Amino acid sequence: MRSSPPEVCIAILAAAALGVTACTQGAYPLDFFNEMHYQPSQRREQPDRLAPPPDAVPITGRRSAISFDQATELQNPVNRTPANLERGRQLYRLNCVACHGQNGDGHGVVAGYFQAAGFVPPVAFSSERVRGRTDGQLQWLITYGIGNMPTFKHLLNEQDVWTLVLAIRELGGQ
């Protein structure tokens, strides 16, 4: 049995209409995965959010930036306990070994590349340059970096930086 031409045309048009409507995205898509770009707060029609007051101070949870000289007066708030020393060693292995070496002697795997490129090599923790620094100065150097040493203020919280100072003192023989 053959279909008549009008029935075929209607079937083709219905399939095409269904295909076109299925390919367009509606205002409220089915949210199988919780994705940020489908949040109601991201609608263009909404008015702008209220601006913060003009004299507001943003809070980051960290201490305000201080100078290196001001850091001289800072005292390490982390007690020298076996647990804190172990945590400091762990932080050292994760963040410092590549440059300063396993024993804090300044001979990490990256140190040779610094010397070959003509840069100042990483300092040994037993050197007078480190031993003469206060804990506050070491905390500042780790937080803000110096020379080739990167800043760790976005990688480590303040507690971890102070714990790392304990490990540096231990490796330096202090």
pLDDT at 32: 57
pLDDT at 97: 92
Contact indicator for 68, 133 with CB cutoff of 8 Å: no
Which residues of the chain are modeled with pLDDT < 70?
A: 1-4, 24-52, 58-64
pLDDT at 76: 93
- Annotated domain spans of the chain: 68-171
Q: Where are the alpha helices (DSSP H) in the chain?
A: 5-23, 68-71, 82-95, 97-100, 111-116, 128-131, 135-144, 158-171
pLDDT at 81: 94
pLDDT at 173: 84
Residue listed under structure tokens 């053959």: 2
CATH architecture, range 68-171 = Orthogonal Bundle (1.10)
pLDDT at 3: 58
pLDDT at 147: 86
pLDDT at 172: 86
pLDDT at 159: 93
